[in-house]
Amino acid sequence: MTKLSVNINKFATLRNSRGGNNPDVVKAAIDAERFGADGVTVHPRPDERHIRYEDVRNIKKIVTTEFNIEGNCSEQKFVDLVLEVKPHQVTLVPDALGQLTSDHGWDTIKHKDYLTDIIKVFKNAGIRVSIFVDPDIKMVEGAAATGTDRIELYTEGYATAFLENKEKAIAPYVAAAEKAKALGIGLNAGHDLDLNNLQYFSKHIPWLDEVSIGHALVCDALYMGYENTVQLYKRQLM
């Protein structure tokens, strides 16, 4: 079954809006696991506007499932943090400085040499590497050439198109996923997946290894409760 990794960034956004430690992001990570999540994801950014670097260190101490750190590997501070913490997985995202949220995948052809080198750095430290890519067969092929363990399909395009034509929306993702499978690389997905579109996505790509979901899951938890929401998302993957 596809694993669910809960991105807890939004808990940190809420905490930072008032200062102090409410909500406690370490407890949010503990509870995500306790409520049935298969892993915890964080995405620290250089300005620490949500998850702080010290949060990452503290969460690593308590994670009992899988820990995934996303971020921009062009920032040396991020690279140093990942090598220090040694999560189970690092997901490399081509964010610009100050970017509100991730909005595109790597050009794995243009940046092949850079990605190959940085992936080796993490893999030599025993960390599984996934890189963020758009659902483009050429980008998937380029990713495989870098030596990455997995790719994460950027799913905002799917989520947006799903409301109008779900068959058309899923088609490029199935093609990209099939190419990844044929090339022998693992497959993750994330961004704007929610209770409306997640099951359809996972049913059409049953070999999907992991989805990372934060914003929609936390929004749903405000109305339905954190534990119930984690379980509802898990059921979409069965």
Catalytic residue among 33, 50, 66, 70: 70
Residue 224 exposure: Cα atoms within 13 Å on the Cβ side: 14
Catalytic residue among 50, 66, 152, 191: 191
Q: CA–CA distance from 188 to each of 17, 25, 26, 126, 212 (Å)?
A: 31, 24, 24, 19, 8
Tell me, yes or no, if 204 is annotated catalytic. no
Angle (CA) 27-31-37 rounded to 5° is: 135
Catalytic residue among 43, 66, 152, 210: 43
Among residues 187, 184, 195, the alpha carbon closest in space to that of 217 is found at 195
Tell me, yes or no, if 227 is annotated catalytic. no
Helix (H, G, I), strand (E, B) or coil at 37: coil
Rounded CA gap, 186 and 217, in Å?
24
Residue 177 tokens, joined: 């996923």
Tell me, yes or no, if 43 is annotated catalytic. yes
Rounded CA gap, 123 and 135, in Å?
24
Catalytic (active-site) positions: 43, 70, 191
